[in-house]
Amino acid sequence: MTTTAYLAQSALPALFLVVPAIGAYVRTRRSPSREAALETWQRWWAIGALGCSSLWMTIVFLGVPDVMATAIGFTRTPFTFEIAFANLGLAVMGFRAASASLRERITIGLGAGMFLWGALVGHVYQWFANGDHAPGNTGGVLLTDLLVPLVLIVLARKAQKLSTVEAPVLV
């Protein structure tokens, strides 16, 4: 594999971080309030970073399982089919998070984190224990596995704190 092809494959998952971040930034430049801006960021992140990236992973793991197995440094096993449907579950949660309450968004972020952070540990383990430097095992996937649930949780917590601070006091 050429260096350019390796870098392109390795960086592809990061697009699912960059596109929602740019979209949310552009959309919130003239936001009427901090609360409205946080809501926009949460929706872009939920749909783009979690929903669309997980749906993409579902499609490619089902559509080209041999390619995906090679991309992560393994041979094709029933595991690729299972990963496809685990990602479908994440996609559904991401799309649901777009209209969910703040508490639900935190829960969705934690649920996504359980899978993605576990995958992150697995990728790092394979990297160091077995020298797996395949483009789907290192690079952009490490960032997405870490940041997608983390940012979803942090944004929801910030919005939750902001709504508590700005909420009127009932006497």
pLDDT score recorded for residue 153: 98
Tokens for 96, please give them: 């649901």
pLDDT score recorded for residue 171: 54
All structural domains of the chain with their residue ranges: 11-162
Helices 53-63 and 65-72, packing angle to 10 deg: 110
pLDDT score recorded for residue 167: 53
Q: What is the pLDDT of residues 53-103, one digit of tens each?
A: 999 999 999 999 999 998 888 888 888 999 999 999 999 999 999 999 999
pLDDT score recorded for residue 165: 67
Task: Report the range of poorest mean pLDDT among 19-23, 67-71, 92-96, 150-154.
Answer: 67-71
Tokens for 166, please give them: 């700005």
Q: Check whether 6 has a pLDDT greater than 90.
A: no
| Mean pLDDT along residues 154-160 | 97
Q: What is the rounded CA–CA span in Å between residue 72 and residue 130? A: 12
pTM: 0.90
Q: What is the pLDDT of residues 117-149, one digit of tens each?
A: 999 999 999 999 999 999 999 989 999 999 999
- What percentage of the chain carries pLDDT values higher than 90? 79
CB 130 within 8 A of CB 75: no
pLDDT score recorded for residue 57: 95
Q: What is the rounded CA–CA span in Å between residue 112 and residue 99? A: 16
- Binning pLDDT at 50, 70 and 90, where does residue 37 land? very high
